[in-house]
């Protein structure tokens, strides 16, 4: 059999069993994957070629579970000015990163803030020397040299997950041309705010989601009961413990005026440090 004969051999997807076209094969460590099944993988997964068929099955089971959990996420904050944005549900301690405004069909990975083990912001200066044309029409540099400068703000998140370990994206959209500009200062402040919101110390410790964990959730968000509460796994409950993962119902203290929450619910200030409103029974959620 010649080299090209092997190239045109029909291949079968190890996941769905469908026939793989000539340009549709995605190699695995011990099999083949069609592009349709590959499109269901997390966009942050980087070791697909080294993954076995069984590992891909586990990953896709996790992705199906993630789609159900995503329906229960209600973002309270959105960060970022570039194509990728960070949506954070501070009430549940969950977030996801996506470049899609209509994100539900794209199933972005829902991550617990307690899974964040590293937050690495960075600013990169990019310089481009400027030129002009002299009297003879030649393109020559200025003397002294002149430059077009812009600053790019990036974020890298290290994640404790069995399926990926880093998420990197550009935080800035329009890039400032000076570290003294208002845009530069605004991006610095917003990066600090994002780092604070994604600080695991501000949230109750939860275990990363496992693919094999059963999630009893309908295809649409369940209606919240008047005295119900929503667990970090997305399950709506009425008792003291989550019926899906067993987590205890958290006691939530939140300023009823501005929404500020203490990092340690056992040490409450007499007044909100953000707006000065007194803490009382109206601030217990």
pLDDT in tens, 157-194: 999 999 999 999 999 999 999 999 999 999 999 999 99
**What are the start-end ranges of the H helices in the chain?**
3-7, 35-38, 53-70, 182-197
pLDDT in tens, 232-279: 777 777 777 777 776 777 766 777 777 777 766 666 677 676 666 676
Lowest mean pLDDT among 15-24, 78-87, 162-171: 15-24
Largest Cα–Cα distance in the chain?
83
Shared domain check, 39 and 138? no
Shared domain check, 195 and 89? yes
Q: How buried is residue 39: exposed, middle or buried, by Cβ count under 10 Å (0-12/13-18/19+)? A: exposed
- Note whether residue 67 is domain-resident: yes
Shared domain check, 37 and 139? no
Across residues 216-230, what is the average pLDDT?
Answer: 51
- Note whether residue 252 is domain-resident: no
Q: What's the confidence (pLDDT) of residue 30?
A: 87
Tokens of 110: 């829902």
- Note whether residue 214 is domain-resident: no
- Note whether residue 235 is domain-resident: no
Across residues 125-149, what is the average pLDDT?
Answer: 92
Q: What's the confidence (pLDDT) of residue 243?
A: 75
Flag whether pLDDT at 230 surpasses 90. Answer: no
- The whole-angstrom separation of Cα 236 and Cα 169 is 32
pLDDT in tens, 32-68: 899 899 999 999 998 888 899 999 999 999 999 999 9
Q: Work out the mean pLDDT of the chain and round it to a whole number.
A: 83
Flag whether pLDDT at 199 surpasses 80. Answer: yes
Flag whether pLDDT at 212 surpasses 70. Answer: no
Total domains, the chain: 2
- The whole-angstrom separation of Cα 189 and Cα 234 is 31
Shared domain check, 187 and 125? yes
Number of Cβ within 10 Å of residue 250's Cβ equals: 17
Shared domain check, 40 and 113? no
- Note whether residue 275 is domain-resident: no
Q: What's the confidence (pLDDT) of residue 23?
A: 80
- The domain boundary, picked from 71, 98, 123, lies at 71
- The domain boundary, picked from 209, 229, 250, lies at 209
The β-bridge partners of 131 are 141
Number of Cβ within 10 Å of residue 87's Cβ equals: 20
Shared domain check, 195 and 98? yes
Residue 175 structural domain:
74-209
Q: What's the confidence (pLDDT) of residue 210?
A: 55
Shared domain check, 82 and 62? no
Q: What's the confidence (pLDDT) of residue 231?
A: 74
- Note whether residue 280 is domain-resident: no
Kindly report the length of the chain.
285
**What are the DSSP calls for 146-160, one per residue?**
-EEEEEEEEEEEEE-
- The domain boundary, picked from 41, 71, 101, lies at 71
pTM: 0.66
Shared domain check, 203 and 81? yes
The number of angstroms, rounded, from the C-alpha of 272 to the middle of its chain's C-alpha atoms is 29
**Omega of the bond prior to 256 within 30 degrees of 0, cis?**
no
Across residues 93-111, what is the average pLDDT?
Answer: 95
Shared domain check, 135 and 82? yes
């Amino acid at each position: 059999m010649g080299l090209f004969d092997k190239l045109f051999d029909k291949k079968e997807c190890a996941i769905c069993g469908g026939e793989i076209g000539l340009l549709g094969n995605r190699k695995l460590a011990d099999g083949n994957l069609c592009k349709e099944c590959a499109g269901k993988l997390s966009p942050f997964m980087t070791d697909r070629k080294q993954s076995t068929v069984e590992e891909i099955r586990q990953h896709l089971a996790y992705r199906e579970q993630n789609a159900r959990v995503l329906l229960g996420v209600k973002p309270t904050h959105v960060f970022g000015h570039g194509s990728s944005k960070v949506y954070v549900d501070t009430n549940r301690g969950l977030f996801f990163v996506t470049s899609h405004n209509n994100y539900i069909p794209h199933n972005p990975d829902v991550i617990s803030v307690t899974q964040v083990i590293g937050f690495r912001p960075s600013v990169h200066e990019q310089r481009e020397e400027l030129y002009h044309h002299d009297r003879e029409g030649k393109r020559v540099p200025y003397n002294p040299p002149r430059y077009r400068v812009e600053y790019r703000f990036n974020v890298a998140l290290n994640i404790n997950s069995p399926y990926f370990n880093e998420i990197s994206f550009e935080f800035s959209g329009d890039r400032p041309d000076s570290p003294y500009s208002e845009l530069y200062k605004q991006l610095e402040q917003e990066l600090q705010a994002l780092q604070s919101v994604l600080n695991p110390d501000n949230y109750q410790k939860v275990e990363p989601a496992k693919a094999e964990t059963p999630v009893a959730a309908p295809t649409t968000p369940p209606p919240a009961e008047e005295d119900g509460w929503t667990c970090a796994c997305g399950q709506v409950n009425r008792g003291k413990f989550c019926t899906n993962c067993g987590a205890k119902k958290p006691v939530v203290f939140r300023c009823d005026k501005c929404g500020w929450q203490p990092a340690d619910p056992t040490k409450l200030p007499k007044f909100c440090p953000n707006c000065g409103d007194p803490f009382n029974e109206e601030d217990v959620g």
